[in-house]
Amino acid sequence: MKMMITLMTIGLFLSPTNAWSQPSGKAAFDTFVNKMKSLNRLPVHFSQLDLNRKAKRLTSAQLKSYGSKRKSKGPKDAHVGFTWASDDAHTIAWFPQGIAGLASGKNNARKWLLVSWYDNTKYNKDSLDRGARISFIDITNLDKIRYRHVLLVKPLRNGNFHRALTHAGGLGVYNGYLYVAGTDKVQVFDTRKIFVADGTDLMGIKSKTGVFAYGYRYIMPMVREYKKADIGITGKSRLSFASMDYTIPQKPMLVMGNYHGGKEGDDYYNPPRILYRWSVTKQGTIYHKPSVVKVKSGLKDRVQGGAMLNNTVYLAASGSVAKLWVGKRQGTQLIKKKSYAWAYGTEDLYISAGRKNLWSLTEWPPKKGGTPYDGRRIVFAVKLSKYKPAK
C-alpha cells in the first residue's frame, strides 16, 4: 500500500491535574427514579427483559455471499453472525448504527450484544421522531438468538421523561454503563436500570398509573449527558462511533471518533479524522480531557467505526468500496497499515471481552419503496487473528 497515514498523538497519558467532567442530567435522573418508585415501578436488570424477537443465525458461507456481488467483497472471513427478524431487517424507519457487548449470570456465562438504532424520520410513515432504541440480544446460543428493543428516554426535571434525541452512532459499555455517541454529545445510560412502560402509543407519564413510550414495553432513562466541551472537545468534530479500549482491563478507555467526508462546504466536511480516548470510572463518569489521535492524510474513506487494543488500531471505513483498515500506532504515526475487504453499509466496531472476535454490523436494508438502499442488514464477527497490520 503506497499510503501514509500520519497520526498526531496528544496527551496519551492523562494528567493528574485534570478533573473529572461534571455532566448534566443526574438530578433529573434521580427525580425520575423516585417518581417511578412512587408508581410502584422499580428498575430491572437488562438480563430480566422479556425477549420477544428472534434473529436468524447465518453461516460463514452465507456471510461470505453477502459481498460476492458487491465492490466491497466483504466480510469474506466472517465466521459467525445473524440477521434480524423480518420487519427489523427491512424497515426504513429505523437504522442500526452502534454495537457493544455485555455478559450476565454466573461466571458471565450469558453473552449479549447491544445494537443502537436511530429513527429515520425521512422514511417513517408519521414523521414522528422517536429518538433512539437499543436492542439487547442474547447470543449465548447462536441457534436460538432472542432480542428486545428498549427505547432510550431522557428524564425531565419534574420527574417525567421524553424521548432521547440522538443519532446513537456508536456504543461503549463499562461496568453496566452504556455510552452513546450522539454527534455533539455523549449520553450515558445504566443497563441495570430499565423500567417497564405501558403499551399505548403516547410518551411520558400521563396519569398516576400510566407510563407510555410510543408503544415500547421497556425504557432506559439517561443517567448523564456530556456536551462536547464538557469532555474537552472543541471545533466541528462529530462523535460518530464508539468502542472500549481494554488494553488494560482494569482501566478501560472510552474510544469515540469523528466522521469526516465530502468536500469543503458539505455538511460532513470537518477534517481531520480523529479518534478520542477518555478514562472512565465505575460510576459512569468521563475524564475531562481525552488523548487524541488525528489521521492527517492518506485515508480518504469515511470512517464509520473505530476500535483500539494494545497498539493496534482498527478502522471500518465506507466509500465506494468498504474497508477495514488495521495498523500499528507508533509515536505520531500509524505504521504497517493494511486494508481488508469489509461489509457494504459498514458501521460500528466492538472487540469482544475475550479479545478473540471483532464484531460489526451493516445498516442498509434491501431496496424498498423507492429508497436508494440495496443491502442486507447483518451482524457478524471475524477473528482478530485474521486481521493484522502489514509485516
- Residues 316, 347 contacting (CB under 8 angstroms): yes
pLDDT recorded at residue 371: 67
Q: Residue 115: exposed, middle, or buried by beta-carbon count in 10 A (0-12, 13-18, 19+)?
A: buried
Place of cell 451482524: 379
Instruction: Quote the pTM value.
Output: 0.92
Maximum CA extent, the chain: 66
Answer CATH for 5-386 from 3.30.2170, 2.40.50, 3.30.70, 2.115.10: 2.115.10
Q: Which among 152, 195, 161 has a CA at the least distance from the CA of 40?
A: 195
Other CB atoms closer than 10 Å to residue 114's CB: what's the count?
Answer: 23
Round to whole Å and give the CA distance between 209 and 274: 47
pLDDT recorded at residue 293: 72
Q: Which among 75, 36, 40 has a CA at the least distance from the CA of 383?
A: 75
Round to whole Å and give the CA distance between 286 and 19: 10
pLDDT recorded at residue 13: 33
Question: Would you kindly state where each structural domain of the chain is located, as residue ranges?
Answer: 5-386
For the chain, residues with pLDDT lower than 50 are 1-18
- Residues 198, 211 contacting (CB under 8 angstroms): yes
Q: CA Rg, the chain, in Å?
A: 20
DSSP code of 201? S
Q: Which amino acid is at 324?
A: L
